[in-house]
Amino acid sequence: MTTFKKAERIQSLPPQFFASLTAKVQEVIKEGHDVINLGQGNPDQPTPPHIVESLMEAAQSPINHKYAPFRGLDSFKEAIAAFYKREYGVDVSPEDEVAVLFGGKAGLVELPQCILNPGDTVLVPDPGYPDYLSGVSLADGRMVMMPLKEENHFLPEYGAISERDSREAKLMFLNYPNNPTGAVASRKFFEETVSFAKKHDICVVHDFAYGGIGFDGKKPSSFLETEGAKDTGIEIYTLSKTYNMAGWRVGFAVGNKSVIDAVNILQDHLYVSLFGAIQEAAVTALLGPQKCVEELVETYEARRETLIGGLKEIGWDVKAPAGSFFAWLKVPSGFSSVEFADFLLEKTKVVVAPGAGFGEYGEGYVRAGLLTSNERLKEAIRRIGNLQLFEK
């Protein structure tokens, strides 16, 4: 059989970090071990029943057995605008400030191809969601990493970016509440972002995947709440986390008209349209009862208290996340992040994601998800505590 050589753009893609992590975990599971997987970001709760019922009803409508409009149902785009007005007080035009996405990840990978020419510079958070790198690679862009350090509350320092890189940057990724650190952004930081972006003509892409998940009674801020934000970029929202619709692959981008237009043009060539019944169910999610979101946040907050409180009890010096469903935990001395993750898997059958998989500045940490029951979290803590790594 002939083996065809992969295109250079495919060969240049970074390794899929989570694919290799999953393969390693599956091997241990195949051996018959009871594995507690805190390493992935896959919501463990079902989609709320009223959303599922909406899909079932819409799927029976013959109109949804045909192609939906290329750029999405008007009703879905109008629901997105209503959602942003209700939740954030932001006015969004359904006609030209909304793009329907086939999941938030698709939008994040598409954006660099919409904005960059080969060699153009992109500012990327480090640590950060690995697929930012995939999109930049496909667009043949040049990455400049923005370190996210604990002493700066895991926010990038714009003053630390060189004048050349600031001047040449065409695109910048941000993500708050943050994956993997669980940090949140202040209104002041977003104001600084708009000022920096305007000064250097940088398009900001704010990945708001965890926008529905904030703790201690504090609601995460939308980038678009900031004056001038729509002049400087867009925000990408997914229904995966807020409504437990990860498998449904539905999200959207809102904001700057020129960027939204570019996304729509690219998607005109990549896809036909998102299944109409899923769009109708998404309308139900955005405009229907929001009690399910409140209950979900309460669940994650309770799990956060279980995990962080339990780890502190066994002597691990950890800090609670302010948002998202991840905890960012310092690795004990004597281990790299990969070594510690492998050690936990081998000795306790508890899975965490090594920080090095999220970038150079992720080294020294592991990420743990709040995506299993309190009982399983307590069992994970018990197993780790038995290692006596943190006893003083």
| Phi, psi angles (nearest 5°) of residue 48 | -55, 140
Q: Give tens-digit pLDDT for 167-189.
A: 999 999 999 999 999 999 999 99
All structural domains of the chain with their residue ranges = 8-47+291-385, 49-287
**Protein fold of 8-47+291-385:** Aspartate Aminotransferase, domain 1 (3.90.1150)
Burial 153-182 (b: 16+ CB within 10 A, else e): ebbbebeebeeeebebbbbbbbbbbbbbbb
**Residue matched to tokens 């006596």:** 388
Find all residues with CB under 8 Å of 62, minimum gap 6, and list them. Answer: none
**What is the chain's pLDDT, residue by residue, as a tens digit (392 residues)?**
899 999 988 998 888 777 777 888 888 889 999 999 999 888 999 999 999 999 999 999 999 999 999 999 999 999 999 999 999 999 999 999 999 999 999 999 999 999 999 999 999 999 999 999 999 999 999 999 999 999 999 999 999 999 999 999 999 999 999 999 999 999 999 999 999 999 999 999 999 999 999 999 999 999 999 999 999 999 999 999 999 999 999 999 999 999 999 999 999 999 989 999 999 999 999 999 999 999 999 999 999 999 999 999 999 999 999 999 999 999 999 999 999 999 999 999 999 999 999 999 999 999 999 999 999 999 999 999 999 888 75
pTM of the model: 0.95
Torsion angle defined by CA atoms of residues 167, 192, 125 and 238, in that order, rounded to the nearest 10 degrees: -120
Q: Which fold has domain 49-287?
A: Aspartate Aminotransferase; domain 2 (3.40.640)
- Contact between 292 and 48 under an 8 Å Cβ cutoff? The reply is yes
Helix (H) or strand (E) holding 257, with range, is helix 257-270
Q: Which residues pair with 98 in a beta bridge?
A: 254
**What would the pLDDT profile of 243-272 be if each residue is shown by its tens digit?**
999 999 999 999 999 999 999 999 999 998
